[in-house]
Chains A and B, each alone.
Chain A
């Protein structure tokens, strides 16, 4: 249960915790009003611990069980992640996970557990036309192709020129042959006549879920940065939804834990487009989205969104929400 604090108490407590854990005070204030003191403390202490490395094996390049066998023969410890088809927690025993020949051959991809989960939630099929609207470096693009067995079409869009070569490299390394790579601003996707049956919007975000991986994030972003991201996310999602085929599905995801970049963005879209509804996710993982963050009542269906949180799931923080477009 969240124990209510007065505004002054909250500010004082936030300042103290911010100092102790090295954060900007505004962040802790938000955590305290979102979760209360006890859960905030559990979150802060979980962010001090490392996140387990994970890989996704890639049957487009090699039979999944052969890859597992050959990695195990080399002494890599692997533990299957139970809700994922191809995901494994992995212990490379001090070696760099990207240094093995199996990696160069595209037999596996090093990827966060929440990222792998996002693509399984979208559940692309071989006859789908899928738009991946913020694609570099291609972790999700290559996973989409893998689940589609290199059939159908994946349209990978990336704006940043310097990130295109990693996207293309990963596509080639992983044996993907059903993708096209477009450079441009995905906010302009509504100017095209594409009609994807599925869309993945792994939106650029403030990265507030990545604190366990990148402690500099504790002090690098202001509330204004979060607002800037939220505006861009709104525009990206709006444009995506306009091009989504009727009956099609979209997964919106970020590696931010900020409700401002997640539930608030979806809530805006639900108000604007009555034909869009949040659909339940039928895989067991994570915890529900927040329909009532900071005491603000949003669309109740946001409980069907999912969150990964370091203190509850031992992963980086992440948000995802699946929606469907009606007629």
Chain B
């Protein structure tokens, strides 16, 4: 696994997907003064944001080593679909209106990989549409993951309390589950 700068076509695709999900210019704000780098894996490409001068690491005779991670992980491109990584969500939540706030019980079950039902929703923007990605935040303001809406926001009030509102895409319990 080698470190390379993200090629412009790949980066354009990442940027388009993030911006269309979360708002124009969001990717540029996240990138700030870093550059996007790629580590290619079997079946996916992991995108990282790193200071430009770290690219010189590629010249440090690291042939005996495989690079597995570098800097800030933005997410993975799998089958042309970009999946945001958990570490970026906190910053993202300050740049977008696409958020859902959930109560304590719902937050807890969300961190076990469960999805969000009407009963657990404290706040959701009514202009959001079905399939929209939303950052999930608990009542203490802590970012706990990412979900995809299963309904248009305006329908929330008419939903019965056990109905699915947002499907879990990734949550902070992943850090523990991944360690086994």
Instruction: Knowing A153-B54, A175-B87 are in contact, say whether A182-B179 is a contact too (CB < 8 A).
Output: no
Interface flag for B86 (CB, 8 Å) = yes
Q: A101 to B85, alpha carbons, bound, how many Å?
A: 19
The answer, yes or no, to whether B9 is at the interface (CB within 8 Å) is no
A172 to B175, CA, bound (A): 8
Which of B65, B66, B71, B175 sits near A104, CB closer than 8 Å? B175
Tell yes or no: B130 within 8 A of A by CB. no
Chain B residue nearest in CB terms to A166:
B179
In the assembled complex, A180 has its CB within 8 A of some CB on chain B: yes
B67 touches A105 (CB 8 A): no
- Which B residues lie within 8 Å of A106 (CB)? 175
A177, B71: Cβ atoms closer than 8 Å? yes
Decide: B60 and A168 in contact? CB cutoff 8 A: no
Q: How far is the CA of A192 from the CA of B66 in the complex (A)?
A: 13
- A164 & B68 in contact (Cβ 8 Å cutoff): yes
Is residue B157 contacting chain A, with contact meaning CB distance below 8 A? no
B68 and A191 contact, CB distance less than 8 A: no
Would you list which residues of chain A between 170 and 208 have a CB under 8 Å from chain B? 170-173, 175, 177-185, 188, 191-194
User: Which listed residue (A178, A185, A191) contacts B71, Cβ 8 A?
Assistant: A178
Q: Which residue, of A104, A178, A185, A191, has the highest number of chain B Cβ atoms within 10 A?
A: A104
Assess the A184–B66 pair: CB atoms within 8 A: yes
Residue-wise interface mask of B (54-68) relative to A, using a CB-CB cutoff of 8 A (1 in contact, 0 not): 100101111111111
Which residues does chain B contribute within 8 Å of A85, judged by CB atoms?
none
B69–A104 CB distance below 8 A: no
- How far is it, in angstroms, between the C-alpha of A141 and the C-alpha of B28 when the chains are bound? 29
The answer to whether A104 touches B179, judged by C-beta atoms less than 8 angstroms apart, is no
Among candidates A153, A178, A182, residue contacting B65 with C-beta atoms closer than 8 Å:
A182
From B138, which residue of chain A is reached at the shortest CB distance? A101
Question: Would you call A12 an interface residue if the criterion is a C-beta within 8 Å of the partner chain's C-beta atoms?
Answer: no
User: How many A-B residue pairs lie within 8 Å, measured between CB atoms?
Assistant: 85
Q: Is the CB of B66 within 8 A of A193?
A: no
**A326 interface hit (Cβ, 8 Å):** no
Chain B interface bracket (under 10, 10 to 19, 20 to 34, 35 or more):
20 to 34
Contact A104 B64 (CB under 8 A): no
- Separation of A193 and B63 alpha carbons in the complex (Å): 11
B111 contacts the other chain (Cβ, under 8 Å)? Answer: yes
Cα separation A175 to B142 with both chains bound (whole Å) = 14
Q: Is the CB of A173 within 8 A of B175?
A: yes
Q: Size class of A's contact patch?
A: 20 to 34
Q: Which one of A98, A153, A179, A183 contacts B176 once the chains associate, using CB atoms below 8 Å?
A: A98
Complex CA–CA separation, A278 to B144 (angstroms): 46
Q: Which chain A residues in 146-182 approach chain B with CB under 8 Å?
A: 153, 157, 164-166, 168-173, 175, 177-182
Give A174 Cβ to nearest chain B Cβ, in Å. 9
Separation of A106 and B68 alpha carbons in the complex (Å)? 21
Query: B113 on the interface (CB 8 Å rule)?
Result: no
The smallest C-beta distance from A204 to any residue of chain B, in angstroms, reads: 17
Residues of B within 8 A of A164 (CB): 68
Give the shortest distance, in Å, between B37 (CB) and chain A (any CB): 10
Contact call A169/B175, Cβ cutoff below 8 A: yes
A165-B178, A172-B85, A172-B87 known; A188-B64 Cβ under 8 A: yes
Q: Check if B62 sits within 8 Å of A182, measured CB to CB.
A: yes
**B62 → A minimal CB distance (Å):** 6
Chain B residue contacts of A183, Cβ below 8 A: 65-66, 68
A181 and B87 within 8 A (CB): no
What's the minimum C-beta distance from A156 to chain B, rounded to whole angstroms?
8
Q: List 30 A-B contacts (CB under 8 A).
A: A101-B107, A101-B144, A104-B144, A105-B142, A106-B175, A157-B65, A164-B68, A165-B178, A165-B180, A166-B179, A171-B69, A172-B73, A173-B172, A179-B70, A180-B54, A180-B71, A181-B67, A181-B68, A181-B70, A182-B62, A182-B65, A182-B68, A183-B65, A184-B65, A184-B66, A191-B61, A192-B60, A192-B64, A193-B61, A194-B62
Residues of B within 8 A of A (CB): 54, 57, 59-73, 85-87, 107-108, 111, 138, 142, 144, 172-173, 175-176, 178-180
Q: A101-B107, A169-B175 are in contact. List 16 more A-B contacts (CB 8 A).
A: A101-B111, A104-B173, A104-B176, A105-B142, A106-B175, A165-B178, A169-B176, A171-B69, A172-B73, A172-B87, A179-B71, A180-B57, A182-B66, A185-B64, A192-B65, A194-B60
